[in-house]
Amino acid sequence: MAAKTLQIDNRIKTYLPKEEGLQKTIFQASNYSVCAGGKRLRPMIMEETYRLFGGNGEEIYPFMAAIEMIHTSSLVHDDLPCMDNDTYRRGRKTTWVEFGYDMAVLAGDALLTYAFETAAGAFADTKYPMRVGRAIQILAAKTGMYGMIGGQTVDVEMTEKPMTNEQLDFVYRLKTGALLEASMMIGAVLAGAGENDIKKTEQAASYIGMAFQIQDDILDLTSTTEVLGKPVGSDEKNQKTTYVTIHGLEQSKRDVEEISHKAIELLKELPGENEFLIQLVQMLITREK
């Protein structure tokens, strides 16, 4: 895990902009955000899914960098005073605290845009441009108004308001699940997986995203800032409805286990064999930070 994280980290850094020119502040803020740490789980899952389906080319790497840029852009915006108003992430100051509110907004925007510029670079690395084109379409759909941003919209609108289970499920499927779905689907598509297997991959990723977010709710309630690497109690402070709010702590723990089991069973139905991917999914769902 540590070795793969380091490899991916080094790979992502090769796609980051040089910190020079009159606009170098935006490069510094963007790079600061991407290099804040983390386990690089989304690009790791993307690559392992690609390997599961027999992929062995170079076209996966621009997409691995792109998905991390998009994920980071969402974190930069999530931390802003107008959103969650968090001052620490992954054990250090959030981007808006370090560079200012204005530069943090621009850094989030810049990373989101630069992600697609980076992903488009895969056309130069592939024998299958149609696959790359479809992967970019998936990336856009899972990021935009029908994906992550759509989920964040409802999440923001319902802050300090009671949320139904249906609304919460919608938020979790889009805000958290969409990028995991993109990661696994892109890995499958670039490796040339069949339509049925791509759909199974998307469903497995949806389960993983749901379990991941429920675990996040549990940790926000039960963990500490030192262990988690960011402030705990944010949900309660912001009066957000969470899975734990609706279902209780013990039921939430049971549901994480049940949903993750469904995800793993689907992964085992796919062709190929990747034990590391299954272990990675288990770790992702049962993590403590």
Beta-carbon count within 10 A of 63 CB: 29
User: What's the CA gap between 4 and 147, in Å, rounded?
Assistant: 28
Q: Which of 46-50, 110-114, 226-230, 268-272 has the lowest mean pLDDT?
A: 226-230
pLDDT tens digits, one per residue of 222-274: 865 554 555 555 666 556 789 999 999 999 999 999 999 999 999 999 987 77
Q: How far is CA 61 from CA 44, 54, 158, in A?
A: 10, 15, 37
Mean pLDDT (the chain, rounded)? 91
pLDDT tens digits, one per residue of 134-177: 999 999 999 999 999 999 999 889 888 889 999 999 999 998 89
**109: enclosing H helix or E strand:** helix 101-120
Q: Give the residue extent of every domain in the chain.
A: 2-286
User: What's the CA gap between 161 and 178, in Å, rounded?
Assistant: 24
Handedness of CA 266, 50, 272, 199 (dihedral sign): positive
Nearest Cα to Cα of residue 181 among 143, 145, 218: 143
User: What's the CA gap between 178 and 180, in Å, rounded?
Assistant: 5
- 3-state class of 269 per DSSP? helix
User: What's the CA gap between 120 and 133, in Å, rounded?
Assistant: 8
User: What's the CA gap between 57 and 191, in Å, rounded?
Assistant: 8
* HEC sequence for 156-186: HHCCCCCCCHHHHHHHHHHHHHHHHHHHHHH
Mean pLDDT calculated for residue range 87-113: 95
Q: What percent of the chain has pLDDT over 90?
A: 75
The pLDDT-based confidence of 89 (bands split at 50, 70, 90) is: confident
- The confidence score (pLDDT) of residue 236 equals 60
User: What's the CA gap between 83 and 153, in Å, rounded?
Assistant: 11
How wide is the angle at C-alpha 111 spanned by C-alphas 109 and 116, nearest 5°?
Answer: 105
- The confidence score (pLDDT) of residue 190 equals 98
- The confidence score (pLDDT) of residue 233 equals 58
User: What's the CA gap between 64 and 104, in Å, rounded?
Assistant: 23
Cβ atoms of 120 and 53 within 8 Å: the answer is no
Q: Which residue would you say has higher pLDDT here, 229 or 127?
A: 127
- The confidence score (pLDDT) of residue 6 equals 94
CATH top-level class of 2-286:
mainly alpha
The set of residues, in sequence order, having a beta carbon less than 8 Å from that of 139 and lying 6+ positions away, is 63, 66, 67, 70, 115, 116, 119, 182, 186
Q: What is the pTM of this model?
A: 0.91
What angle do helix axes 275-286 and 249-269 make, rounded to 10 degrees? 170
Q: Which of 12-21, 187-196, 233-242 has the lowest mean pLDDT?
A: 233-242
pLDDT tens digits, one per residue of 193-209: 999 999 999 999 999 99
Cβ atoms of 183 and 60 within 8 Å: the answer is no
**92: enclosing H helix or E strand:** strand 92-93
How big is the chain, counted in residues? 289
